[in-house]
A and B are shown apart, each in its own frame.
Chain A
Amino acid sequence: MSSIAPPPSAAKIPEATRLALYRQMMEIRYCEKRAHDLFLQNLVKGTSHLALGQEAVAAGFGVAMNTDDYSFCTYRGHHHTLARGASMLSVLGELMGRQCGLMKGKGGSMHLTSAEHGVMGSYAIVGAHLPIAAGAAWSAQYRGTQQVAVAFFGDGATNIGAFHEALNLACVWKLPVVFVCENNGYMEYTPIGAVTAVENPAADRACAYGLPRQLIDGNDADVCYQAACDAYKKARAGGGPSLIECLTYRHGGHSRADPGKYRPKDEVEEWMKKDPVVLYRIRLLELGFAEAKLDEIEATAMATLEAATEQAKASPPPELASAFTDVYADGGAAWRN
């Protein structure tokens, strides 16, 4: 495999940050593969939308955030949740419907939320969270906190009204919000190009809102990290929103029900050569990082995963009474006296 040098703008990323990016991608890679295995064992119920192949976006934009920044994710949101520091145990536990899950089984795979890590929910109605992220940014602006809100979404979300309403409002109000489009080429089962009026569904629309066109390599963690830093800096300085389209690829199908067979074989092969985790390992070695250090990161991630898996399997299901909690602020579900 040929190596790729980090692009000039990302050439000076500190060593510790690069190791954090690699650690984050490895944890996501391992955890997502395990989620798939647990599904095959019928331990993960319902549906799940894996982010295998899209790790660099989550790592780059996640590592660049401050701890009090806000993430708004989609139903394909395991990677973004892990990238803010939520534990593998709490994520796998939620997928398995266990008491140890992030929301104790009340949300499931598509709604991962970890407020303590700034993960303000995963939204399963496509595009709905873009205006919500704009609202969180409005709140940060109003309170003068310097926080940034980041909305992650797929290419399919660019064709829904909420995308355009959020972009317009965010620009008019100059909100500290960063819109990150993970363009993995497919709107569920349909090639995005077949249903979109422009070639790059997010970047080509930026001009409609007076924003610069930003199209980046979403499989390069350094590039994602650098783009994130620049966008967050602009937002914190009062420069308003950014819209960044990250080109990436799903290694699997849309969801657990989809083997993704509609994708041309050579297209899949080309993108598998651009596996963000593999490429980043090569880059780190070429930059002089010790292989033993990378091995150690992988081993630690795997050990954490093994422990999390066993703990999640041993965790009891939620208490039945919890089905009736937290409908209203008094903690319960009472709608009458």
Chain B
Amino acid sequence: MAQLTYRDAVSAAIAQEMLRDSRVVLLGEDAAAAGGVFKTTVGLFEQFGAKRMRDTPISELAILGAAMGASMTGLRPIAEIMFSDFLACCWDYVANQIAKTRYMSDGQLEVPLVIRTANGGGARFGAQHSQSVENWAMAIPGLKVVAPSNAADAKGLLAASIRDPDPVIFFEHKAILGNKCEVPDGEYVLPLGQAAVLREGNDATIIALAAMVPRALAAAETLAAEHGISATVIDLRCLVPLDTKTVLAHSARTGRVFTVEENPRLCGWGAEVTSIIQEEAFSSLKGPMIRITTPHIPLPAADRLEDEVIPTVARIINDVRKALGK
């Protein structure tokens, strides 16, 4: 075990899979020789060379189109879209082409690729470089959607995404790229579609994703220490496949459910998750489920404003206390 940052765990996973499988190639803007604008691919160009690490022009259509064509014909491309906001530039490939080709071809063609993209706020980049768009991807049949919250998961889940025969959108949260944790040395692969129960408590179940996970955990610690509320914290890790078994079991056990979502409220992932819970575990609920989300607004740039709108530890604590009357 070594202490690695989230960003170093990303490059460790790519190196692990490139060493293992010569079909794995990577393409993106500034992703090769420069090591990525978020430094998530540092060293890979030197290690694997220009044939496998390809710098592209600023051409999101060409990046995803080329990745798709290569994946249909025997390669395992990793395509980097620098900011997840830019997925809007190439959404045709995500939603119409990559996601639907297996189905429309009746299984004749497959598209085993990974789209890695920097997601989320906290960097004061404003409304076009800060969005959390995991809910966009979740709405498209045919895609898998992964969003790790820590370095170890980033390594294990990225390795699994590269090996997966389906197209995977892999959201790397830009606000936690410097966070460190113990990451297993050597080959490390985690299954897709398994949520992690990070903390168990009896009064509330807090379900979070990506950068909201450390905030949910911090909130749970304070709720326990200062307010007598013991909370379970679940890190979903993947939106598709969705680990509803874990979610339903722990929601039923406490009867009080909170989602902490960075995506704006309307049609955020928590809407689907809470919908499933009310359909399948309604009788276990002891009160309304509460969604703690970024409001339905574009993200502002100024630090004071951005900090106000993305769910904070204080807001999670407050909303849980209010709902439980404590």
Contacts and interface: CB of A to CB of B under 8 A. Distances in A.
B289 interface: no
A327 interface: yes
Interface string B83-119: 0000000001100110001111111111010000000
A121 B61 contact: no
Nearest to B107: A326
B70 interface: yes
Nearest to A326: B107
B104 A128 contact: no
Interface stretch (B13-21, B72-80, B153-161, B179-187): B72-80
Interface stretch (B35-43, B215-223, B241-249, B263-271): B241-249
Interface stretch (A17-25, A159-167, A223-231, A286-294): A159-167
B65 A134 contact: yes
A165 B66 CA distance: 10
A331 to B, nearest CB: 7
A132 to B, nearest CB: 4
Contacts, number: 164
B66 A337 contact: no
Contact of A113 (B51, B69, B109, B276): B109
Interface stretch (A57-65, A102-110, A190-198): A102-110
A322 B103 CA distance: 10
B108 A115 contact: yes
A262 interface: no
B69 A336 contact: no
Contacts of B162: none
A331 B93 CA distance: 22
Interface in A256-300: none
Contacts of A139: 69-70, 73-75
A128 B96 contact: yes
Interface in A109-147: 111, 113-116, 120-121, 123, 125, 128-140, 142-143, 147
Given A104-B106, A114-B108, A337-B243, A135 B69 contact: yes
A121 B101 contact: yes
A169 B66 CA distance: 9
B106 A327 contact: no
Given A135-B65, A326-B102, A336-B241, 15 more contacts: A106-B106, A107-B106, A115-B105, A131-B65, A131-B69, A135-B68, A135-B69, A135-B70, A136-B73, A142-B70, A161-B61, A162-B65, A168-B59, A169-B62, A333-B141
21 contacts: A103-B108, A121-B105, A128-B97, A131-B69, A132-B66, A132-B68, A134-B62, A135-B67, A135-B77, A138-B66, A139-B69, A139-B74, A142-B75, A168-B59, A169-B56, A172-B57, A326-B102, A328-B142, A333-B141, A336-B242, A337-B241
